[in-house]
Amino acid sequence: MDAPDKPQLYLITPPAFELERFPDTLSRVLDTAEVACLRLTLASHDEDEVARAADSLRELAHARDIALVITDHVLLAQRLGLDGVHLSDAARSVRDARKTLGADAIVGSFCGTSRHDGMTAGEAGADYISFGPLGLTTLGDGTRAEVELFDWWSQMIELPVVAEGGLTPESVAALAPHTDFFGIGDEIWGADDPAAALKALTASLG
């Protein structure tokens, strides 16, 4: 993914959802906001269940020219014709994923709060890296990614960066000058109206 002029939205699915209902909810969100990328992040290890979800979301995403990546399932990404993979183990799997998926696939890497892991992932062939969490969340080990990390990255490194985990309207406003994408998931899916929640969360982006 190329670095955009202003931060773009990168939606992350819930870790579990009902296939009969969630695509309709997602459609309403995608129809009210400009989204650059969608990440399928299911906790399930049932490949058939993950594949059914991926098939359903791929149609929604590609109809709107939105890239669809999947967390960690490199071979499923290849088999199901997805746009790429998001790796959750920092830089460790990037080179192998790139080799498997080829030059045109999106390969992203979650690097927690580590500059070193981010740079290593970039050198291994990642298209973007993500740092987080920004606030209270079960993501990671309790440490938080600070604005200073994104500020440093945006000044020193050309590789696009995603800010994710525990976002608030305040942190979105503070990070807007320093990040390329906001990874948004749990912040909106528990709301009665996820589309409205997304709009409120990102109001500062204009």
pTM (predicted TM-score): 0.95
Q: What's the DSSP call for residue 106?
A: E
Q: Which amino acid makes up residue 32?
A: T
Beta bridge partners of 183: 10, 164
2.30.40.10, 3.40.630.30, 3.20.20.70, 3.40.50.1100: CATH of 8-205: 3.20.20.70
Let me know if 190 is exposed, middle or buried by CB neighbors in 10 A (0-12, 13-18, 19+): exposed
- Structure confidence at residue 194 (pLDDT): 98
- Structure confidence at residue 141 (pLDDT): 65
Distance CA 160, CA 162 (A): 7
For the chain, where are the alpha helices, taking DSSP H only? 22-32, 47-63, 74-79, 94-101, 115-124, 147-156, 169-175, 186-189, 194-201
- Structure confidence at residue 138 (pLDDT): 56
- Structure confidence at residue 135 (pLDDT): 83
Domain ranges in the chain are 8-205
Both tokens assigned to 192:
């009665």
Average pLDDT, consecutive stretches of 10 residues, N- to C-terminus, the chain (206 residues): 86 96 97 97 94 96 97 96 97 97 97 97 98 76 89 97 97 97 97 98 94
Nearest to 97 by CA among 112, 109, 83, 107: 107
- Structure confidence at residue 140 (pLDDT): 56
